[in-house]
Amino acid sequence: MVERDGIATPWGTRTPYGPGERWPVRVDSHLADGLTEADVDAWVPTAAVLHSNGDGMEIAVRDGRIVGVRGRAGDRVNHGRLDPKDLFGWQANHAEDRLTVPLVREGGRLVESTWDEAMSRIVKRSKELLDEQGASSIGFYTSGQLFAEEYYTLAAIAHGALGTNHVDGNTRLCTATAAAALKESFGCDGQPGSYEDVDHADVIALFGHNVAETQAVLWERILDRLAGPNPPALLCVDPRETPVARAATVHLAPIPGTNMALMNGLLHEILANGWVDRDYVDRHTIGFADLESMVGDYPPERAAELCGVPADRIRAAAALLGHAERLLCTVLQGFYQSHQATAAAVAVNNIVLVRGMLGRPGCGVLQMNGQPTAENTRECGADGDLTGFRNWANDAHVAELAKLWNVDVDQIPHYAPPTHLMQMMRYAENGTLRLLWVSATNPAVSLPELGRIRSILAQERLFLVVQDAFRTETAEFADVVLPAAIWGEKVGTFTNADRTVHLSEKAVDPPGEARADLDILLDYARRMDFRDRDGNPFPAWHDPRTAFEAWKKASAGRPCDYTGLTYEKLRRGGVQWPCDAEHPDGTPRLYENGRFFAQPDYCETYGRDLITGAPGEPSDYKAANPDGKAMIKAAEYLPPHETPSAEFPFALITGRTIYHFHTRTKTGRTPQLNAAAPDVWVEISATDAAREHLHDGDLAEVTTPRGTVRARVRVSGIRDGVLFLPFHYGYWDTGDKDGRAANELTMTDWDPVSKQPLFKTAAAAIHRVGEAPAVPASAPQARVTERMEART
């Protein structure tokens, strides 16, 4: 076991290995000052919740308090390693400002109350609205950090009991496009590949995926392959010079908003050079002719003019992809939060399909998640999807769920597509959505165009419920605040980005009167007196284990089949779904032998138009794809809606740092993590900095048509004409009201297919407002990049 400094060495030391070999074990740990393993009373199994990687770990408990963590050597995800947020983030559980009692609004301010009073107010308003306006006046906005048992309960209450289709998760902000792209290509959500493919791949291509900072342990796995014999080649697509870009064989830095032009250029070269597995394409796919026709219009020279990447670099990247024998592609926010998000992510799937790189070791695509339990939000139906990857447009699927829940089929709202978050905010803005229940997320910092979002949340006619562990910026607008237990204080399961399910056990009691999210939702259901068709309480379950058993029944026979899982099995480590009688030990890869979940009677969706987002008709889908093959889909490039101008000459993108998660409600309360990245900064290229008379550490003002943010300058290797701001920073720890959160600047716009907001296509200006301090501090990214290069 290695007690290490996760700040100074965020990616640890190298343990090299070669292709096809098992990744060596290295167990990382961190205990509170002065403690050793001998001082620990108990080690409680769990997995990481401050990123999407799903690192298996154990919580150290002493005298009823969390005092540290260590990695699990036998876990398939991390082989014992932990990232900086894993090592230190547990300290947030003991933050002095945890919510411990409910709060209610009296006389314009939040005051302490009782659970009975708080829940009574929510129930009273719910019943009033149901009587006055119906279920469509009520909406739920949840997280990517709850457990499967809690999401499934929320989906049952919202869809089956209340009958509202206004349900979404903050996964809409980070991985809605992952789900959409998988549905468009394979007919259903579900990650085709596995982290183990890193062990076998000879080319790893990362599209808009800064894995070094979003999934640090997975980056360690890649670094260990790079340090070993016969290392893989890396392709990085990112306008920033990230650690991944510095390690890449080929780095492409496109103009923000032009990913689709670049992808069409790459596919043009792959097809033109004959780097196509025609046997695989003919036997297992449809749509190749349309792709061939579309990308024929995007030779490297034209693609270069559109995306700003030199034609020879496009050819070099295409050759890397085209000559790979085992190609692994990954995708994340650089594509998901940019213009034509779903079309570009689907284009990555197209590369994998035309090359026949699916269903075998080292081959596949990982449309990554941004949160630890985002997959569960989608599986369980708490993000607008229908529970169990069922199809909203398939009446038989809706009827199947109604039978499972023992409710009338008309009670489940399938008269229209489910309402995505950005539309829910519009409904709240115009007054048709009157109760919004927000759990474990912070839209007052994380949503685009924050001035508008604050005005919506502040409306007197909107009854806002916030269920959280901390008094967030969003909680300040609430009518009722419910104190929630968090990781380590409750029991449940959650699934990472490569379908690995972990069990998280309860290590300590929550503070004060804080309750598990499952208990809060079930309390609401009982107070509302929800009943099934036979008059029995609904939902029928009453604790995590019975909720898990109910979820297993809902998943039976669906792609995300959990029926072979038990809490006892999961105590031994993570298992990949589907796990059923046919796959009792889980399933490393989907779509072996070219079998997909795309059959017309089984698929999760009938598809959408990649340009307009218009849903496909069931009859058209059945006619085009009667055998359920994978679908190659083409799309033209269209320019983004907001482009740089004389007044706003830069393209602004936002993103993450390795030391923080989302809006810092936990990591900002962790001393080591907060000290590593205490405040917002702006990245600018050396050429642009010189033109704007900016130097490292200067205080700059970044402006868009929507607002202004002040940040310290970091001169970096980012593409000329592009600015970068980390989006984590809000106002809870400064007392300021504006000028710090990156989303003061972003625009209200979303992808037509996935409905994911576009955080990476704003036009911006920058100018200097103050000098650098006498001893300017390097930006966090600069420090960790330098350390990585020194080792590799």
Look at residue 778 in the predicted model and tell me its pLDDT: 46
Per-residue confidence at 783, pLDDT binned at 50, 70, 90? very low
**Three-state DSSP class for residue 128:** helix
Handedness of CA 264, 267, 273, 274 (dihedral sign): negative
Average pLDDT of the segment spanning 438-464: 97
Average pLDDT of the segment spanning 704-722: 97
Judge contact between 278 and 286, C-beta under 8 A: no
Two tokens at 215?
């999934």
**Three-state DSSP class for residue 407:** coil
HSE toward the beta carbon, residue 57, CA cutoff 13 A: 29
Per-residue confidence at 417, pLDDT binned at 50, 70, 90? confident
Judge contact between 260 and 297, C-beta under 8 A: no
Judge contact between 242 and 784, C-beta under 8 A: no
- Indicate if the pLDDT at residue 780 is higher than 60: no
Look at residue 405 in the predicted model and tell me its pLDDT: 98
**Three-state DSSP class for residue 174:** helix
Per-residue confidence at 75, pLDDT binned at 50, 70, 90? very high
Per-residue confidence at 790, pLDDT binned at 50, 70, 90? very low
Nearest to 218 by CA among 48, 1, 89: 48
DSSP 23: P
Sheet holding 65-71, edge to edge: 2-3, 28-31, 65-71, 56-62, 42-47
46 contact partners, CB below 8 Å, separation of at least 6: 57, 58, 59, 487, 488, 502, 503, 504, 505, 507
519 contact partners, CB below 8 Å, separation of at least 6: none
Two tokens at 724?
């970068």
Per-residue confidence at 738, pLDDT binned at 50, 70, 90? confident
Look at residue 775 in the predicted model and tell me its pLDDT: 57
Judge contact between 628 and 283, C-beta under 8 A: no
Pairing relationship of beta strands 327-331 and 203-207 according to DSSP bridges: parallel
Judge contact between 214 and 662, C-beta under 8 A: no
CA 683/CA 287 separation, integer angstroms: 41
Q: What is the pTM of this model?
A: 0.96
Task: Give the tens place of pLDDT for each residue, 311-370.
Answer: 999 999 999 999 999 999 999 999 999 999 999 999 999 999 999 999 999 999 999 999
Question: What is the secondary structure of 699-733 as a DSSP string?
Answer: EEEEEETTEEEEEEEEEESPPTTEEEEES---STT
Handedness of CA 256, 258, 264, 270 (dihedral sign): negative
The single-letter code of the amino acid at 562 is: Y
CA 466/CA 436 separation, integer angstroms: 9
The helix or strand, by DSSP H or E, that contains position 500, with its residue range, turns out to be strand 500-504
Task: Give the tens place of pLDDT for each residue, 86-96.
Answer: 999 999 999 99
Pairing relationship of beta strands 109-112 and 103-106 according to DSSP bridges: antiparallel
Neighbours of 396 (CB within 10 A): 9
Pairing relationship of beta strands 707-716 and 722-726 according to DSSP bridges: unpaired
Judge contact between 66 and 94, C-beta under 8 A: yes
Peptide bond into 780 cis (omega under 30): no
Average pLDDT of the segment spanning 661-670: 97
Judge contact between 70 and 40, C-beta under 8 A: no
Task: Give the tens place of pLDDT for each residue, 169-216.
Answer: 999 999 999 999 999 999 999 999 999 999 999 999 999 999 999 999
132 contact partners, CB below 8 Å, separation of at least 6: none
Task: Give the tens place of pLDDT for each residue, 5-16.
Answer: 889 999 999 999
Question: What is the secondary structure of 339-375 as a DSSP string?
Answer: TTHHHHHHHHHHHHHHTT--SSTT-EEEE--SSTTHH
Average pLDDT of the segment spanning 637-658: 97
HSE toward the beta carbon, residue 223, CA cutoff 13 A: 23
Average pLDDT of the segment spanning 575-579: 98
The single-letter code of the amino acid at 258 is: T
Two tokens at 247?
């390690």
